[in-house]
Amino acid sequence: MITLHGHPFSRAHRVMWMLKELALPFSHVPTDFRGGATRTPEHLAINPNGRVPALVDGDLVLFESLAINLYLARRYGGPLAPADVAEDALATQWSFWVATEVEKPLLLAAANLMLFAQASRDADQAALAIKKLDRPLKVLEAQVAARPYLLGDRFTVADLNVSAVMTLIPITGVPMGDYPNLAAWLDRCLERPAAADWKPISFTIPRPSTEAGILAMFV
């Protein structure tokens, strides 16, 4: 039996999307990261980082949303799964890439443009973060200009992991007209029925009082 911990407005939406793509039955504990529920002894026993998502599948307990999705693809197969070792390597590459090259500047831009309360937003930080996105977005634009999906002709876990992180792009104000193929690819991915639980974030979060606090929150 699979159990997913984490509310869909958190990074748990990435895993919920994957579980639905694979039509896997699962029980859902919608732990809300905003109210301290991720720091209870019960939750820390599942994810010692005090974060969501976490997935329990029999004896296996996993944290890290994108790693969970790679596991689910490999374990439960289907067209989203890597077909061979080379595809597996590429799906891993794109998942690490989006986590290390894209996610942090994307979150910092989104936080300073929308997620932080109006008075705590820092336009300079947002502009710097958007500048840092230039390079990876050009890489992604070129990749999906040449083929409909990251690995070729079919939607795979690589597309799911990368596009699930990219859901914040619309609120960063990045001019998507500069990345027409990326924009069309992102629409193709997010329009999949299994992605339907994804909703633009509609709440604000408190700005941590220090730069170290901001890094602790986003890295």
Residues 6 or more apart whose Cβ sits within 8 Å of residue 197 = 8, 13, 16, 17, 20
Please identify, using beta-carbon distances, which residue of 52 and 130 lies nearer to ligand GSH.
Answer: 52
Residues shown for the chain: 219
Q: Give the residue with the Cβ less far from ligand GSH, 156 or 161.
A: 161
Least separation, in Å, of the C-beta of 15 and ligand GSH?
8
Question: Which own/partner contact pairs does 210-217 have at CB distance under 8 Å and 24+ positions apart?
Answer: 214/108, 214/111
User: Rounded to the nearest whole angstrom, what is the least distance from the CB of residue 157 to ligand GSH in the complex?
Assistant: 14
Smallest distance, ligand GSH to C-beta of residue 23, A: 23
Nearest residue to ligand GSH, using CB? 51
Q: State which residue, 92 or 181, has the beta carbon closest to ligand GSH.
A: 92
R_g over Cα of the chain: 17
Taking the least distance from each CB to ligand GSH, the nearer of 179 and 207 is: 207
- Tell me which residues touch ligand GSH (CB under 6 A): 10-11, 33, 38, 50-53, 64-66
CB of 14 to ligand GSH, least distance (A): 7
End-to-end alpha-carbon separation of the chain, Å?
31
Torsion-angle region of 152 (φ positive above 0: left; ψ -120 to 50: alpha; else: beta): left
Place of tokens 């859902």: 28
